[in-house]
Chains A and B, each alone.
Chain A
Amino acid sequence: MKPAGRRWRLPGQHWLLVIPPYLWLLLFFLAPFAIVFKISLAESTIAQPPYTALYEYVNDVLTLRLSFSNYLFLLTDSLYFDAYVSSLRIAAISTLICLVIGYPIAYGIARAQGPMQSLLLMLVVLPSWTSFLIRIYAWMGILRNNGIINTVLMALGVVDEPVRMMNTELAVYIGIVYTYLPFLVLPLYSNLVKLDNRLLEAATDLGAGPVSRFLRITLPLSMGGVIAGCMLVFIPVVGEFVIPELLGGSETLMIGKVLWGEFFNNRDWPVASAVATVMLVVLLIPISLFHRYQFREMEGED
């Protein structure tokens, strides 16, 4: 098959390979984003759709009307800044917790042998066979005042009054870590499983202890997996809406909820679009970080 493989790499035909991903990007990222960006430059009005048109073509005159007031509006009220910061904080803390829990899990699976490994992998993936929404509802049943945890604690006499867990930030963290843990474990596992055992053997021969072997060989070599996993958790959590809505209390401020409020309560689609656009810009930093490491990973394999 070698000649065929070579023909693919002929200069001039390269674009055939490049087109699908770009088409994908155009269709599922750039086009929706362009629509959102367009709405963010319009003004809110009572109509269907509830925003003004960007341009008008009357009597051979094209009038373009771009409003930046929506972006300026975000600066006038500290709510938006606070919500971005609070979302980033919650995402960062959840990512860290996921990493602390997920690294040993991924490491354990990568070290396991044969059928045991498949079984463990299966256990990580299995919960996602049930709808995400139903699993969050199950957590409501576990965490509520007369839920499983409190019933057990009170029956054992550990506490007299139920511990309030539902509708707190703690519940939000539990929900997020539980939901997103597999997204960290899987890429990290696929990285760790490739770790060359001979490197560790050589290190042992040279007198390195287990801690030193981990810190100087395993951890640096798995950095790509760590970054990939962390970003897969961090990026979607910043815009998370369902988990804080269902498990969180009213004091949990997240940008997803603010966006929902702008869209549905204020019916201000332009401001909602501006909030979404700014969120994307904020996320560009971790997204590009993610892509750089992914790219480096792939180059390293060649």
Chain B
Amino acid sequence: MKTNSRRNIIALFAGLMTAGPVLAEGTVNVYNWSDYIGDDVIAKFEADSGVEVVYDVFDSNEVLEGKLLAGRTGYDVVVPSVEFMGRQIQAGIFQPLQKEKLSNYKELDPAMMATIAAVDPGNMYGIPYMWGTTGIGMIEDKVIAALGPDAPLDSWDLVLDPENLAKLKSCGVAFLDAPSELFGAALHYLGKDPNSQDPADYQGEAKDLLKKLAPSVTYFHSSKYIDDLAAGEICVAIGWSGDIAQAMVDAEEAENGIEITYVIPKEGALQFFDILAIPKDAGNVEEAHAFIDFLMQPAIAAENTNYIWYPNPIPASMPMIDAEITGDPSIYPPPEIMAKLYVAKINSPAVDRAMNRAWTDIKTGQ
């Protein structure tokens, strides 16, 4: 789950430039999250395979899903997040992978494949590309200035306790505009199942809590916080790990004295996976398999992670990843934190509707 519309444009142009005419033995049309691949990876694949890559980017699961449901997207490889992929599998969007064509399949972390099998039984349709967490990004000194030295920096208390959040309002607060993730966090914080399938759970305590928090939230948005955190426009955000890493880099480059940190709260947080899959109506199935297989090469997976700061599911890539990244517990969490992460499940339409309706109430303050 990567979002950064500014990088969108850059990635798009990069895609256009690298899609130059090589010894085109075929084409593969890839639709990936914006700013979500290493700089030279596409060029390397083209040189290696002779397949031309047409690379487009999107910045929300909803947009990808809208296209997939309408059909005939023209894409051969798409990258939905795991719970979206689960529903898309039910809708019959994807074709089963031909695993004999994926020579690097053995490189995948079996534990992660088992987790994903909960929504993709037998791992028939998808290969994990990258993963990450939904946690808290903040400018620590501003948060401490607002809350005092005892601020619970490593806990959901920081942003899900209405009293604390009210004090942070003055320096700016951003929440993701992603109801399933925020309800998940609120339900988990209240000791309930973050994937509750009872529509009533989206009306009771969790909704009341989010409603109490809403007046202190400057805005709900899923990408603006990257720039705003880096510029000091806001001081705390519930956001995606790699995006907040992006904000850190931006702030460093701007040399504006702003230091951003990312924490996975000690109570646990959402772990998400973005999954490579091939639509049923893809026209270049061979090339799609070749592209997916290429991304699973440990050296290539390491190159991607070094560039985008999202961890990958290829254990053999670890030695080739910068120590700065592998040593960062907010990117590669220690086992005790890993044990507390939870994964989103597919919601029934009734739950989705109840949740989105409650979300509208929360955001509009009704």
Binding site for B on A (CB under 8 A): 44, 46-50, 77, 79, 144-146, 167, 249-251, 253, 258, 261, 263-269
Contact residues of B between 50 and 95, Cβ < 8 Å to A: 60, 62-63, 65-66, 68-71, 87, 90-93
Contacts of A48 in B (CB 8 A): 68-71, 91-93
Please state if A145 and B233 are interface contacts (CB–CB under 8 Å). Answer: yes
Please state if A264 and B360 are interface contacts (CB–CB under 8 Å). Answer: no
Complex formed: what's the CA distance from A49 to B91 in Å? 8
Complex formed: what's the CA distance from A145 to B174 in Å? 14
Please state if A249 and B219 are interface contacts (CB–CB under 8 Å). Answer: yes
Q: Counting CB contacts under 8 A, is B231 at the interface?
A: yes
Complex formed: what's the CA distance from A258 to B356 in Å? 10
> Which B residue's beta carbon lies closest to that of A164?
B218
Q: A47-B91, A50-B69, A264-B63 are in contact. Are A146 and B364 (CB under 8 A)?
A: no
What's the least CB distance linking A265 to chain B, in Å? 5
Please state if A46 and B360 are interface contacts (CB–CB under 8 Å). Answer: no
Please state if A265 and B219 are interface contacts (CB–CB under 8 Å). Answer: no
Please state if A145 and B66 are interface contacts (CB–CB under 8 Å). Answer: no
Please state if A146 and B356 are interface contacts (CB–CB under 8 Å). Answer: no
What's the least CB distance linking A248 to chain B, in Å? 9
Out of A146, A263, A265, A268, name the residue touching B233 (CB < 8 Å): A146
Complex formed: what's the CA distance from A266 to B179 in Å? 11
The 8 A CB mask of B98-115 against A (1 = contact, 0 = none) is 000000000000000000
Contacts of A249 in B (CB 8 A): 219
Contact residues of B between 161 and 195, Cβ < 8 Å to A: 172, 179
Q: Counting CB contacts under 8 A, is B363 at the interface?
A: yes
Complex formed: what's the CA distance from A264 to B356 in Å? 11
Q: A44-B349, A265-B179 are in contact. Are A250 and B220 (CB under 8 A)?
A: yes
What's the least CB distance linking A192 to chain B, in Å? 41
The 9 closest A-B pairs by CB, nearest first: A264-B62, A250-B363, A265-B356, A50-B69, A167-B219, A46-B91, A46-B90, A250-B220, A48-B91
Complex formed: what's the CA distance from A295 to B231 in Å? 53
Contacts of B220 in A (CB 8 A): 250
Complex formed: what's the CA distance from A261 to B93 in Å? 22
Complex formed: what's the CA distance from A145 to B235 in Å? 13
Please state if A251 and B365 are interface contacts (CB–CB under 8 Å). Answer: yes
Out of B65, B90, B93, B218, name the residue touching A167 (CB < 8 Å): B218
> Which B residue's beta carbon lies closest to that of A167?
B219
| 23 A-B pairs in the complex with CB atoms less than 8 angstroms apart | A46-B90, A46-B349, A47-B92, A48-B93, A49-B69, A77-B357, A79-B357, A79-B360, A144-B233, A145-B233, A167-B218, A167-B219, A250-B220, A250-B364, A251-B363, A251-B364, A251-B365, A253-B364, A264-B62, A265-B359, A266-B349, A266-B356, A267-B352
> Which B residue's beta carbon lies closest to that of A271?
B353
Complex formed: what's the CA distance from A96 to B68 in Å? 41
Out of A250, A261, A263, A268, name the residue touching B217 (CB < 8 Å): A250
Please state if B65 and A264 are interface contacts (CB–CB under 8 Å). Answer: yes
Please state if A49 and B65 are interface contacts (CB–CB under 8 Å). Answer: no
Contacts of A77 in B (CB 8 A): 357
Interface of B is mostly: helix
Complex formed: what's the CA distance from A144 to B219 in Å? 12
Please state if B352 and A266 are interface contacts (CB–CB under 8 Å). Answer: yes
Please state if A50 and B91 are interface contacts (CB–CB under 8 Å). Answer: yes
Please state if B353 and A268 are interface contacts (CB–CB under 8 Å). Answer: yes
Please state if A146 and B71 are interface contacts (CB–CB under 8 Å). Answer: no
What's the least CB distance linking A51 to chain B, in Å? 9
Complex formed: what's the CA distance from A259 to B256 in Å? 40
Complex formed: what's the CA distance from A261 to B361 in Å? 13
Please state if B218 and A265 are interface contacts (CB–CB under 8 Å). Answer: no
Q: Counting CB contacts under 8 A, is B135 at the interface?
A: no
Please state if A266 and B70 are interface contacts (CB–CB under 8 Å). Answer: no
Complex formed: what's the CA distance from A237 to B345 in Å? 38
Contacts of B231 in A (CB 8 A): 146
Contacts of A47 in B (CB 8 A): 91-92
Complex formed: what's the CA distance from A249 to B69 in Å? 30
What's the least CB distance linking B243 to chain A, in Å? 18
What's the least CB distance linking A17 to chain B, in Å? 38
Out of B62, B87, B364, name the residue touching A46 (CB < 8 Å): B87
Please state if A263 and B66 are interface contacts (CB–CB under 8 Å). Answer: yes
- 16 more A-B residue pairs beyond the given contacts A146-B232, A250-B217, with a C-beta to C-beta distance below 8 A: A44-B349, A48-B68, A48-B92, A49-B70, A49-B71, A79-B357, A146-B231, A146-B233, A250-B365, A263-B66, A264-B60, A264-B62, A265-B179, A266-B356, A267-B87, A267-B349
> Which A residue's beta carbon lies closest to that of B352?
A266
Out of B71, B93, B353, name the residue touching A266 (CB < 8 Å): B353
Interface centre among B65, B91, B364, B365 (most CB of A within 10 A): B364
What's the least CB distance linking B78 to chain A, in Å? 13
> Which A residue's beta carbon lies closest to that of B363?
A250
Complex formed: what's the CA distance from A48 to B73 in Å? 12
> Which A residue's beta carbon lies closest to that of B172?
A145
Contacts of A44 in B (CB 8 A): 349
> Which B residue's beta carbon lies closest to that of A78?
B366
What's the least CB distance linking A279 to chain B, in Å? 17
Please state if A250 and B69 are interface contacts (CB–CB under 8 Å). Answer: no
Complex formed: what's the CA distance from A50 to B352 in Å? 15
Contacts of B92 in A (CB 8 A): 47-48
Q: Counting CB contacts under 8 A, is B214 at the interface?
A: yes
Complex formed: what's the CA distance from A44 to B353 in Å? 12
Interface centre among A50, A258, A268 (most CB of B within 10 A): A50
Complex formed: what's the CA distance from A129 to B164 in Å? 47
Contacts of A253 in B (CB 8 A): 364
Contacts of A265 in B (CB 8 A): 62, 179, 352, 356, 359
Complex formed: what's the CA distance from A155 to B347 in Å? 51
